[in-house]
Amino acid sequence: MTQQTHLSHESGDGTPEAGEARRDPRLLATAASPKGWLQALRRNLRGGELGPLPVVVGLLLIGIVFQSMNDRFLSPQNLSNLTVQIAAVGLMTTGVIMVLLLGEIDLSIGSVSGLSAAVLAVLAVKTGLPEWGAIAAAVGVGLLIGLLHGVIFAKLGVPAFVVTLAGLLGWQGVHLYLMGADGTINTSPSGAIAMLTQTYFVPFMGWAIAGIVIVLYLIAVFSVERRRRLAGLPYKPLEEVLFRAALLTVPIVGGVWVLNQYKGVPLAFLIFVGFVVVLDLVLRKTRYGRMVYAVGGNSEAARRAGINVDLIRISVFGIASTLAALGGIMLVSRNFAASVSTGSGAELMMAIAAAVIGGTSLFGGRGNAYSALLGGLVLGAITSGLLLLQMDTSVRFMITAAVLLIAVILDAVSRRGRKTHARGGA
C-alpha cells in the first residue's frame, strides 16, 4: 500500500503471481482501490501478518453475544463504565508491552502499582502533601523501581524473571508496611486524585477532542506523504489516505456519540489512550523505538550494530514501572482509597493477558502500543458482560484463560507463517 500504481513482478515463467509468491508481500505495491487493498490483505494473512484483525473480530463477537444475552451491555452507561474500568490495567499493559518487545517479562508491575498507590495515599492523607505532589512522588517511586530492576538485569546479568519475581514479593512487603495496621487509607472524593477518574468532558468538549484528533491525524499523514513524494520515495495516494482516515473517524465519532449519551468522554480513558498514542509514535517514528525492536529481535545483532543494549533495557523497565505506578494511581482514584489489596489481585495477570490478546508477541520484537487498547477492551468487555449476567469470578478467569490461549496459538501460527514465507521467525 505504498504507491499509486500496482507493480507486477514477473517470474521466470512470465506469471506475475509466481513472482509475487517468492517476494516479501511488504515490498509489493498495491493499487489504490478496494480490490488492491483486499489483495494486500490476503497476502498479509498468507504471510502470517494477522494484524489487529483477530482482535477486532473477537470484539465484534463479544459485543453480539453479550448484547443478545443482556440488552444493557451496549448501553451508553455500561460502555462509559467500561472505558473507565480498563484505564488502570490498560496503563499497566502499555508498560508490559514495552518489556515483551524485548522478549522479557516483568512480574512486579502489580506490586509496583500497589506500592505507588500506598505512597500516594500516605503522602496525600497522612503527611498532608498536596495531591498533585503526591501523584508526582508516586510516579517517581515507580520510575526508580523500574530503573533498579533494569540495572540489575542489564548490568549484573540476573534474568528478568528472577529480578521482577523478587520485586513482586519485596515491593508487596513494602506496600503492606506502608499501609500499617488499618490496611486502608481513604482519599478525598473531590481532590486532584479523584479528578482522574471522576472527570467527564461534556458533549461539546468531546466533539472538539474528536475533531482535533482527526485533523491532527490528517495533517501528520499528508505532511509525511508530501515529504516522501518530494523525495522521490513511494507514497500513499490520496484515496488510500482518505480511506485510512475514514477507518479512524468511524470509531472515534461513534465512540464520542455513545459516551455523550451518558456523562461524556471520561478523562481516565483519554489519559490511557493518550499514553498509547504517544508510545506508538515513539516506537514507530523514533530511533529509540527502532532500537527497542532491534534489541527484542536479536540483542546480539543489535549490540554489534552499535546499539547500547543495556541502556535500552534499563530504560524499558523504567518505563514499564512508571506506567504501573500510573495504573496504581488510577486504582486509588477510582476507589477513593488505597488498601493492602490494591494491585495485588489479578492486575498483573490481566495486564500480561491483555498485551498478548491485543497482538504483542511473547517471543519479542513484534507488537505495538495499540495492543494495550485492543486487549484491554477485550478483557474489559468480557468482565463487564459477565458481571451483567451475574456470573461468578471463576467463569471470568476460565474464559479469559481460553481467550489468552487462542491469542498465543494465533501468535505461534503467525510465526510459522512468517517462517514459511521466509520473513523471519523472530
Compute mean pLDDT per 10 residues along the chain, 426 residues long, and list them: 41 44 45 55 58 80 90 92 94 94 92 95 92 95 96 94 94 92 87 93 90 91 87 82 87 92 93 94 92 91 93 96 96 92 85 87 80 90 89 82 80 64 48
H/E element holding 337? Answer: strand 337-339
Element (H, E) at 76: helix 76-101
Closest Cα partner for 264 from 90, 385, 84, 89?
84
Q: Could you tell me the three cell numbers for 100?
A: 515483551
pLDDT of residue 418: 56
Residue 200 φ then ψ, to 5°: -130, 140
Question: What is the CB-side half-sphere exposure of residue 229 using CA atoms within 13 A?
Answer: 12
Q: Count of CB atoms within 10 A of residue 387's CB?
A: 15
Which pLDDT score, from 0 to 100, does residue 399 have? 84
Cα 241 off chain centre by: 24
Beta-carbon neighbour count of residue 337 at 10 Å? Answer: 17
User: How far is Cα 81 from Cα 121, in angstroms, rounded to an integer?
Assistant: 24
Residue 44 grid cell: 498479509
Q: Which among 376, 272, 405 is positioned nearest to 59, based on CA atoms?
A: 376
CA distance 418 to 361: 13
**Per the structure block, which three cell numbers stand in for 84?**
473507565
222-236 pLDDT, tens digit per residue, is 888 888 888 888 888
pLDDT of residue 403: 81
Q: What is the pLDDT of residues 388-416, one digit of tens each?
A: 888 887 887 888 888 878 877 876 776 66
